Structure 1
Amino acid sequence: MSKKIAKLLASIQRKEGVPIESLLYLDPSDDADHACAVCLANVGNEPNPFDVSSILSVLAGLRGFQTLKVARGKSYSFAVFASPLDVQAAFTHLDNAFFAATSDTSVDASDILFPHHLVSAAVKSQHPTGRIIHAFKAKRIPFSDSDTLTNPSDILAAIPGLHIVHDFISEEEEERLLEGMEQHPWISLSERQVQHHGFVFDYDSNHIDFSKDPGQLPAWCQFLVQRMDDTLRQLMLQYPHDFDYRGFNQLTLNRYPPGSGISPHVDTHTRFDSPITSVSLLSPVQMEFRTLYYSDSTSPVTSTTPQLQPTHKTLHVQLPPRSICFMAGASRFGWEHGIRARKADVMNCTRVERALRVSLTFRGVRIREEEVKCDCVWDGLCDAKIAGGAKPDRLKEVDVGVNRHGVVGGKG
C-alpha cells in the first residue's frame, strides 16, 4: 500500500472514528461477497474544482447503480449498487483508481475517466482541475440518512421556538410576490442583492436608520402580512412565552444567487420583537442553527431556563420554497442562524444543487426607548449584556473560547 493511499485511509478512519477495516475491503482482490457500495476517495461535498455531476454521469451508466451518498464536510462518498456483483463489476470498471480529467460538462462522459496507471503527464497538464479518484469496495456506509431536519414537528422539538410551515403560500402567490418586488430597485452587496421596506437597515452600523421615514410595507405583500398575522395569533395562544409580537414594520428582501450565503448571526435582542419571520421563494436551502446553550435532556433549553451551561450544538434545517419560518423564543434569542456559501447542500446523504433563491424577512422594530431592553438568559448573545450594553458586530471567544459571529442588527 502506497503512502498516499495509507494517508487517505487514515483520514477516513479519523473522520468516521472507527477502524478502517470495519468500513472497507482493503485488499482489491477480495471477492467482497457482501459489499454494498464503492467508496470513492476525493469525491465528496468538500469544496473542490471538480464537478461531481461528471462522476455521476459515469456511474449512471454502470449496471445496478442506485445513488451516490455524500456527507457534509467529507471528501469521500459511496456509490451504492443493487448487489455485491454490481459492486464488483463497477470496481473492476473503475480499475481501483482512475483520473477524472475534467469538470467541463461539454466533454462527453465517456471521455473524462482514465485508468490511473495510463494517465500521462500530458493528459494531466491538459486538465489542471482533474483529480485522482481512489476506489474501495465498502462493507457498509457510515453516513446518516437523517443529517438534515425536514419535518416541522422534529424541528420544533430540536430547536424550541422554531416554527416552520410548509406551503404557506401557493405557486401563484409566489409569482405575485416576485413580480411585486421587481417594482423597486435592488441594492447590490458583495454576494447578494437586497431591498428594504418600512424601516431601513444600515449595513455600515448594523442598526436601523431612524433618520428615514419608514413608510408602509408594500401593497403587493399585504395579503402575506395578513396571513402571517392570523397564524401568529394562533401560535401566541399555544406558546405565549415565546412571542412578543405587535405587528411588522420592517421588511428585508434578499436575492441569493447559487453559491452565496450569509454569516451566522443573531438579530439584535433589544431592537427587534419576537419572532423574526422569513419566507423562502424559488428554491430550497439548508439553514444552519447553532448555539452554545443546548440541553440533551427531555426538557430542552428555553427562554425561561435558568443558569444555562455552555454546550455547543449545530443543527441543519431544510427550508423548502414557499415555506415560512418563525424564529421565536429560544430559536430567536439563543441560536445563531446562517447559510453556508456553497454551490450545493447535502440533505440526507444526497447532494442538492442550489439555484436562485429569494427570501422575505419581516421584523417588528422597537421604536420607543422604553421598549429597547432584554432580560433573557443568553448572556453571550445578548447585546444588552455584552460589554456594558455595547452592540458589536462580531463576538470572539464567547464563554467557551469558540470564535463566533455575534449580535448584529439583522442581516438576513
Structure 2
Amino acid sequence: MLGNEVPVLSEFGDLEIIDVSDLEESADSRKLTRRERAEQFRVCKRRNEAYATMLRMEGVASAAELFSQQPSRTICIVNIGYSAEGLLTVQLLEKAFSRYDGFERVVVNIVKPYSFAIFHSTSEAQSAFAELHDKPCPEFKNKLLVLEYVTPSIFAQLTKEPIPGSTESIAETLDESRGLFYIADFISEQEEQTILAYIREDEEREISTNGGSDKWHRIQERYVKHYGHSFDYQTKHVGDVAKTASQQLPLWSQAFIERMSECIPAHTLEPDMLTIQRYPPGAGISFHVDSHTAFTDTLAVLSMGTPVQMDFRKPGAHNAALVSLDLEPRSLLLLTGEARYAWEHAIRIRRTDLVDGAIRERRERWSITIRKVNKTIECNCKYPDLCDNDAETVQRLRARLEYQRD
C-alpha cells in the first residue's frame, strides 16, 4: 500500500496514489539531487499509470472496488503482467515469489498488464508482501513492484478462475447434454508415442526438403502446424492454403479419426483440417470460441504429453459461469452444439495447475485439433452472443466468395 505522507489523486477513489506534481514541494524531495528527483518523479508516474490502466481495463471508478485494505493470501502485482516476453514473465515472477514460504503459484492472464501471486496462507503472503512491495526486484532489472491484496471473490472476478480455497460447487455444468463429450484413454500409450514419432518424422522431412525450415508457426508461446487448411490468427478465419504443411490430412491421422465416428456416431465428423499444437511448459491460449462461420458444428481435440486444465466460460458479466476440465494425456474432447457455440474455452498461462487441492507442474503438451471447414461461411445458430455471422470480416469473406463464384 502506498503511504500517507504524500498527496493522493482523488480520481482513484480510496487508493493512495502519489501526486507527482507535488513531489517538488515535499521536504524530503528538497534533500534530493536533481537526478534523484527526476527518478522519483518517473517512478511515481509509472506507478500511477499502472493503477490507472488496471482501473480502466476493469471498468471501475475506484480502486477500493478491486483492492483490499486487509491482508489476504492473494497478492496482485499491479505493474507486472503479460507482455511480449510471455512465459519469461511467468518464470521471473515465480522466481521472485518462490523464495518465500507458502508460495503456491502465479496467475497471468493474456493481454492483462497485471498478475497475481497466491500463497497457502495470509501470513505467508504478508511476509512476501513486506519484502517485495515498492522494492527493487532483481528479476525485473530492479523495477519496483507495486503490490496490493485482493479478496478471493475479486480474484475470481478478475481472472475468471475459481475462488482460491473454495469448495463451492460450480453453478452450471457442461456435459454431454450440452454438447461436451470427453473420452479418457481414447488412444493407448503406444499409439500416443507412435503419433508423436510421426510428427517428428514429418518435421525432419520438411527441414530436409525446404532449405532447413519447417512448417511450424509460433503463435504467442505455442507452436502450430496446419494440414488441409490453415488458420489466419488475424482474421480468426480460414487462412492461406500456402501456409499448410500439406493440403491433405496426414495418413497417420486416419485411424483415430475413424475411431472418433465409432465412439460418438451421432456426431460423425468428416474433417478436412487438422492442427497440431505444441505447448511448452506454462504456455496457454486465451479465452475464445472457434469461429462459427469458419467451421461446422463439431470439433475435436486429442491431447498428448502432460495433462492440463482447460477452462470453459459463458460470455457476459464478471460472474459468468466457469467450468474447469482436466484434459488427460491420450484423451479426446469433442465439442458440439451449446458447448461448441455458446462457451469460450482457454488454457491459462501458468506453469502449474491446481487439481483436487494438489499443485501439478506442467510439462510439454501436444494437441491435435480436428475440424471441418464451413464452405458457406454462414451460421444460423441460436447462440448469438459469440456468433460472428454478422461480423464485418465475415461479410467481406462472403462477398469475396460470391465474386469468385460469379
Give TM-score, length-normalised by structure 2.
Answer: 0.56
Which of the two has greater strand per residue?
1
Larger RCO (alpha carbons 8 Å, 6+ apart) = 1
Amino acid at match of 2:305: L
2:119 to 59, 77, 80: 77
Question: Structure 1 residue 207 and structure 2 residue 229: aligned?
Answer: no
* Partner in structure 2 of residue 224 of structure 1: 256
Rounded Cα–Cα distance in structure 2 between residues aligned with 1:375 and 1:388: 17
* Partner in structure 2 of residue 51 of structure 1: 94
Q: Deviations over 1:100-129 (max 9, x none)?
A: 9xxxxxxxxxxxxxx97xx9xxx9888869
Amino acid at match of 2:119: S
Give TM-score, length-normalised by structure 1.
Answer: 0.55
Amino acid at match of 1:253: I
RMSD (Å) for aligned C-alpha atoms:
4.9
Shift of 1:50: 4.5
Amino acid at match of 1:181: I
Shift of 1:290: 2.0
What's the secondary structure of 1:312's corresponding residue? coil
Question: Structure 1 residue 188 and structure 2 residue 217: aligned?
Answer: yes
Q: Does the 8 Å CA contact 2:137/2:143 hold for their aligned counterparts?
A: no
Amino acid at match of 2:391: I
2:228 to 174, 180, 198: 198
Q: Does the 8 Å CA contact 1:282/1:356 hold for their aligned counterparts?
A: yes
Shift of 1:362: 0.3
Rounded Cα–Cα distance in structure 1 between residues aligned with 2:347 and 2:269: 28
Question: Structure 1 residue 331 and structure 2 residue 374: aligned?
Answer: no
Shift of 1:259: 2.5
Unaligned ranges ≥5, structure 1: 8-12, 25-38, 60-66, 81-90, 101-114, 135-140, 237-242, 295-309, 393-412
Which of the two has greater helix per residue?
2
Fraction of identical pairs, as percent:
27
Rounded Cα–Cα distance in structure 1 between residues aligned with 2:128 and 2:67: 25
Amino acid at match of 1:383: D
1:319 to 327, 332, 353: 327
- Paired residue total: 296
* Partner in structure 1 of residue 348 of structure 2: 340
Which shifted more, 183-192 or 49-58?
A: 49-58
Matches within 5 A, 1:4-403: 42=75, 49-51=92-94, 75-78=117-120, 98=127, 143-145=165-167, 155-156=174-175, 160-184=178-202, 185-190=214-219, 191-203=221-233, 205-209=235-239, 215-233=247-265, 236=266, 243=267, 245-292=268-315, 312-367=320-375, 369=376, 372-387=377-392, 390=395
Residues 53 and 357 of structure 1: CA distance in aligned 2, closer, same or farther (over 3 Å): farther
Unaligned ranges ≥5, structure 2: 5-14, 16-63, 82-89, 109-114, 149-162, 203-213, 398-406
Amino acid at match of 1:208: V
Amino acid at match of 2:289: V
Residues 376 and 131 of structure 1: CA distance in aligned 2, closer, same or farther (over 3 Å): closer
Rounded Cα–Cα distance in structure 2 between residues aligned with 1:278 and 1:330: 17
What's the secondary structure of 2:315's corresponding residue? strand
